[in-house]
Amino acid sequence: MTRHAQSERLQLCDELDRLGPDAPTLCEGWDTRDLAAHLVIREGRPDLAVGTVVPFLSGRLEREQHRMAQGDYAALVDRVRHGAPAWNPMSRPKLDELTNLVEFFVHLEDVRRAQPDWEPRELPAALQGKLWSALKRSARLTFRKSATGIVLIGEGQGRYAAKLPDHHGTVVLRGAPAELVLYAYGRAAVARVELEGDADDIAALQQADLGIG
């Protein structure tokens, strides 16, 4: 089995090492040290990670993430590189691929595209196909707050109706699967995606709070 999630993880760690702890990312309020701390907590501290979905625990999560981010940066990145602890089911290759491919792809691009003069990577067709499959699984959730209908057209992959319209018409999003994933996960500002539809419908989509969270 090709482990695309593992490859994205290792490339992200290489970028984190290269840029150092204080480089910007596309995650609002986070630099590279904060992103690394987030990933360590996500895989290794479920007692803290629950703060992302339980509001009254979010303060504890933020405090501990900040404390961790101020520690040994190289050691923090090394923990990300080595992946989930053995007790975490995400340490199993198949589950890692299922749950972490989009996470590490998006965060790698959060780091890359926050730097000057970035360009999209040339991704292999197999990875684009995996990202397209992952997008179809999550699209109804990531686009749930859009008042428009959503049709996705992935280059080389086909067409997928992600959402029926609520109060507007339908917008077609066209691009490489990797770029559509970035758009769906709230990175519209850097995603190279073409939008087709009525101007008012496109404006409504652009105002929607996309992503999971």
Residues 52 and 131 in one domain: no
Whether the pLDDT of residue 51 is over 60: the answer is no
For residue 99, is it within any domain? Answer: yes
Domain boundary among 86, 112, 138: 112
**Gap between the Cα atoms of 153 and 175, Å rounded:** 7
Q: Are residues 86 and 142 in the same domain?
A: no
Domain annotation covers residue 213: no
User: Based on the domain organization, do 142 and 169 belong to the same domain?
Assistant: yes
pLDDT of residue 63: 87
**Are 59 and 96 in the same domain?**
yes
In a domain? residue 117: no
CB of 133 within 8 A of CB of 139?
A: no
67 and 146 share one domain: no
Q: Are residues 108 and 8 in the same domain?
A: yes
The reply to whether 119 falls in a domain is no
- Examine residue 79 and state whether it is found in any structural domain, yes or no: yes
Q: For the residues 144-155, what does the mean pLDDT come to?
A: 95
Q: Average pLDDT in the 132-141 region?
A: 96
pTM, whole model, 2 decimals? Answer: 0.93
Enclosing domain of residue 51: 4-112
151 and 80: one domain? Answer: no
Count of CB atoms situated within 10 Å of the CB of 134: 22
Does the structure show a pLDDT above 60 at 167? Answer: yes
Answer yes or no: is 83 within a domain: yes
Residues 137 and 185 in one domain: yes
DSSP letters along 107-160, please? HHHHHHTTSTT-------HHHHHHHHHHHHHHHHHHTTT-SSEEEEEETTTEEE
- Rounded Cα distance, 106 and 8, in Å: 9
Q: Tell me what pLDDT residue 57 has.
A: 63
The CATH number of the domain holding residue 195 is: 3.30.1050
User: Would you say residue 100 has pLDDT above 70?
Assistant: yes
pLDDT of amino acid 166: 80
Write down which residue in 57, 80, 112 finishes a domain: 112
Q: Is there a single domain that holds both residue 10 and residue 108?
A: yes
Q: Are both 103 and 8 inside the same structural domain?
A: yes
**Is 70 exceeded by the pLDDT of residue 105?**
yes
Q: Which residue has the higher pLDDT, 60 or 79?
A: 79
Please tell me the total count of domains within the chain.
Answer: 2
Averaged pLDDT, 101-115? 98
pLDDT tens-digit map of 19-35: 999 999 999 999 999 99
On whether residue 120 sits in a domain, the answer given is: no
Residues 44, 105 within the same domain: yes
Query: Residue 48's pLDDT band (boundaries 50, 70, 90)?
Result: low
Structure tokens that stand for 207 in this block = 């105002």
